[in-house]
């Protein structure tokens, strides 16, 4: 018998606070969530079908699977040690499964038994592209869409070495993907700023949404630090300047306003989804999806600042376009980066 039929999925952009959210939820005696698995964000998990997955799974474990969304990475079953499985165990589970749902149930039933808990969650942020498929797989699943002021997100990603054009494109695509489900009965939007400013209220709200009672121990720092640190693998970044195992604080709010330069602001004010991105997300072609609109849907306002450095911006666009054109020539896939609506 399956232990959990209503898991929860945290979707967001990078540098939004998903590790903090996950570590707090993981302290609940009934909830188990580990680091990013990079499982549900792969189109070949769902298409062309389960038989194809079984036939190619060994190759996927060895070589990875290129993500279909904005994050073009091959990582597959990342952090599997945190879920207490090896390639051999996964292959054995797959061999005795008659469907994708049976395979996933086996994986997470074993995980829940190992952790002594009842409800599992997964936090790969760019799962948002495949929320339709995930809800078909688990109709009673819960979606938690975590958002944060885009200026703070972009500043945090830049500290990790990501260029502003790529950082803004990543933030835009992933939040646009998640917002398609806004208004769905199993969708909950949580703002990072509210979560850290009043954690008791926000985590009580999340617990009620997940169908469990709030437990004060969730807010006690360090309760599950050993588990998360044992399976770190780059999930905790030194550039954060804080740790998810410390007492929750508001120190990271508003840094982006101070750190972003006029070039960053220009990108943030002028980026929109490309036609290809809208096709991926089943968004009508005539809808203009830009950063200001997505920010407003998430509850933020972008300041009208930074209208200089257009030549530097053009250079960024050109380098990104040529790099992705070369990638397209190699793998015969179009690129999914957003494009600009302005003329430069």
Give me the half-sphere count of Cα atoms (radius 13 Å) on the Cβ side of residue 245.
12
pLDDT tens for residues 67-87?
887 777 899 999 999 999 999
Question: Which of 3.40.30.10, 3.40.50.300, 3.30.1180.10, 3.40.1590.10 would CATH assign to domain 8-232?
Answer: 3.40.50.300
Q: What is the pLDDT of residue 340?
A: 43
Element housing 270 (H / E): helix 262-270
What confidence category does residue 312 fall into, taking pLDDT thresholds of 50, 70 and 90?
Answer: low
Angstrom distance (rounded) from CA 295 to CA 150 = 7
For residue 13, count other CB atoms closer than 10 A to its CB: 29
Angstrom distance (rounded) from CA 132 to CA 280 = 12
Q: Where are the domains of the chain?
A: 8-232
Q: What is the pLDDT of residue 222?
A: 74
What confidence category does residue 242 fall into, taking pLDDT thresholds of 50, 70 and 90?
Answer: low
Give me the half-sphere count of Cα atoms (radius 13 Å) on the Cβ side of residue 43.
11
pLDDT tens for residues 263-299?
898 889 888 898 888 989 999 999 999 999 999 999 9
Predicted model pTM: 0.88
């Amino acid at each position: 018998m399956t232990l959990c039929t209503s898991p929860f999925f945290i979707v967001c952009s990078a540098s939004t606070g998903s590790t903090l959210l996950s570590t707090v939820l993981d302290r609940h005696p009934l909830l188990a969530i580990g680091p990013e698995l990079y499982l549900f964000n792969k189109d070949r998990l769902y298409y062309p079908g389960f038989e194809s997955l079984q036939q190619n799974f060994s190759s996927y474990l060895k070589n990875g699977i290129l993500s279909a969304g904005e994050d073009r990475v091959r990582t597959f079953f990342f952090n599997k040690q945190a879920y207490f499985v090896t390639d051999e165990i996964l292959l054995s589970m797959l061999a005795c499964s008659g469907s994708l749902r049976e395979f996933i149930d086996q994986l997470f039933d074993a995980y829940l038994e190992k952790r002594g808990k009842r409800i599992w969650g997964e936090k790969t942020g760019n799962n948002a592209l495949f929320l339709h498929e995930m809800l078909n797989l688990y109709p009673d699943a819960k979606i938690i869409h975590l958002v944060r002021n885009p200026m703070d997100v972009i500043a945090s990603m830049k500290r990790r070495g990501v260029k502003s054009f790529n950082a803004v494109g990543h933030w835009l695509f992933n939040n646009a993907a998640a917002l398609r489900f806004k208004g769905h009965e199993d969708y909950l939007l949580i703002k990072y700023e509210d979560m850290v400013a009043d954690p008791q209220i926000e985590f009580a709200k999340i617990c009620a949404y997940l169908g469990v009672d709030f437990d004060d121990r969730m807010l006690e720092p360090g309760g599950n630090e050993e588990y998360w640190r044992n399976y770190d693998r780059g999930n905790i970044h030194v550039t954060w300047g804080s740790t998810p195992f410390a007492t929750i604080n508001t120190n990271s709010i508003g840094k982006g306003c101070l750190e972003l330069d006029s070039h960053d602001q220009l990108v943030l004010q002028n980026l929109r989804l490309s036609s290809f991105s809208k096709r991926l997300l089943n968004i009508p072609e005539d809808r203009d999806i830009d950063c200001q609109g997505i920010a407003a849907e998430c509850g933020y306002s972008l300041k009208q600042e930074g209208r200089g450095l257009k030549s530097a911006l053009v250079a960024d666009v050109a380098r990104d376009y040529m790099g992705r054109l070369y990638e397209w020539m190699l793998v015969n896939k179009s690129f999914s980066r957003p494009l600009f609506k302005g003329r430069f």
